[in-house]
A and B are shown apart, each in its own frame.
Chain A
Amino acid sequence: MERDDLIEYSLNTHHSEEHGKALRKKILKVTLLLTVITAVEVALGAYIKQSSGVWIYVKWTFIALTLLKAGYIVMVFMHLGDERKWMRNVILLPYAGFILYLIFIALTEALAVGDAWSGVAI
């Protein structure tokens, strides 16, 4: 039996030839950006030694650039930027909250365990 009360959301994403052209331009731009970021990361990693004084800044630069890359992949390639605001939030917020806490607690504990093994009084 055919039902006429179902809404076909899959058709929502269809677009015109013109709009497609603009989209392809945007995709090309993001591709160039991701490639440049990766090249910068490799250059930093290859030329700045981990023993150097500025390594700590390089490390945070890596993390910032990675999050930037991830943002472009999720928002543009995966079209999450085009979805409704609360769909975005339902996907990103619980994940971000849980993982940030996990990173914090795991690394804090790891440093404490390391100190205990090396005999540093806590």
Chain B
Amino acid sequence: MAGNTVQLDSKTLWGGKESPFQTSYGKLMMWFFLVSDALTFSGLLVAYGFVRHDTLEAWPIGEETFNSLPFLGHGYPLIYVALMTFILIVSSVTMVLAVEAGHRMDKKGVVKWMIATIIGGFFFLGSQVWEWSHFIHGSEFGRIELMDGSEAIVKGHFGEIKNFTVLESGLHHKKGDVITDDLMHTFQHAAKEGHIEKGGKIHLHDGSVAQVNKARDHDLELTIKMISSDSKRNIGDKIDGKEAEKLYYASLYSGTPKVTYGAPWFEDGEHWLPTKNEYGPQQYAHFFFFITGFHGFHVFSGVLINILIFIGVVKGTYHKRGHYEMVEKTGLYWHFVDLVWVFVFTFFYLV
């Protein structure tokens, strides 16, 4: 307490009239709300811990699952989440500076730092949109079920698809046509359905058959994540080089569905949460969407509340009131959102 630190004995404090905590009603209630909200988030994270500990399947590893950056591709483990964490920490700092300016009745300072906080909040939400989209779409290789029934995740550089040359005419494409648009999407869709045959013959929706012309992949590496009873492999085994390429394409071009890309939400038109995902057990994706989604919802409402309070600051409502406690209270909520992310970062991405 900066302004007027008064030594009070317990008789005065607890004797009525005074607040024993020397705090206003609103601030105390904000703290009680935050405690209850903290219990909710703890419940979610503990539930995640429960499922992770009782699962027999290999649990996804953070630095393997989250290793991409926008425009730069793969090979940057955890950098993107670290960036998101940094954005949220910085916006928490600008908020605490707004609160500090408020304690000096510096309206200009409050306005400046609150604008920075709101911008930080939007940046975080934008980052989360990219992260969700990336998680839903998955990697270029997907998760592959090998011919012996074991499942592997795949790392490496995906050779570019140049075009499809039509071998047999269908409704739209005639023999000899060269298809050059929407290649990756068509390729993954067909691979998922098992519509690509040995040698890279792709069956398109209009009934035509085409040859996939694709550059070779580089540095392919399979990591076994699940084994079947007749597989001689072990969980955690790594296969690379020519052997990896051979195993991967034997499965992908086997004519039966063996690959999963990302965590699709409407795979069969019925489920609204993924029934299968590229990264590991089904619950992993569910918890990812629920925990980061619930946190993102808090960030979103935090930004809205910050904007409302910002309008009050600009209009001078709090200046007339003689104190900026409203900024302090919304600041508490905003810091709490940052606090929760610190724990989500550790228990979802790191551990």
A78 touches B336 (CB 8 A): yes
Contacts of A118 in B (CB 8 A): 56
Q: If A45-B62, A99-B42, A117-B56 touch, does A12 touch B92 (CB 8 Å cutoff)?
A: no
Contacts of A44 in B (CB 8 A): 350
Contacts of B342 in A (CB 8 A): 66, 69-70, 73
B21 touches A86 (CB 8 A): yes
Q: Which residue of A lies closest to B323 (CB)?
A: A10
Interface flag for A110 (CB, 8 Å): yes
Within 8 A of A (CB), among B40-55: 42-43, 46-47, 49-55
Within 8 A of B (CB), among A92-122: 94-95, 98-99, 102-103, 106-107, 109-111, 113-114, 117-118
Indicate which residue in A11, A34, A106, A117 contacts B89 across the interface (CB closer than 8 Å): A34
Interface of B is mostly: helix
Interface flag for B22 (CB, 8 Å): yes
A114 touches B54 (CB 8 A): yes
A11 touches B322 (CB 8 A): yes
Contacts of A35 in B (CB 8 A): 86, 89
Interface flag for B311 (CB, 8 Å): no
Complex alpha-carbon distance, A80 and B53, angstroms: 34
Interface of A is mostly: helix
Indicate which residue in B22, B42, B63, B104 contacts A20 across the interface (CB closer than 8 Å): B104
What's the least CB distance linking B260 to chain A, in Å?
A: 22
B23 touches A83 (CB 8 A): yes
B92 touches A73 (CB 8 A): yes
Please list 22 pairs of residues, one from A and one from B, whose beta carbons are closer than 8 Å in the complex, sorted by A's number: A9-B19, A9-B23, A9-B27, A10-B323, A10-B325, A12-B22, A13-B2, A16-B104, A17-B104, A20-B103, A41-B350, A45-B62, A46-B77, A66-B346, A70-B343, A74-B339, A77-B96, A78-B336, A79-B328, A84-B23, A87-B22, A87-B31
* Top 10 closest pairs, chain A to chain B, by CB: A15-B2, A110-B53, A87-B21, A114-B54, A113-B54, A110-B54, A46-B77, A10-B325, A66-B346, A110-B50
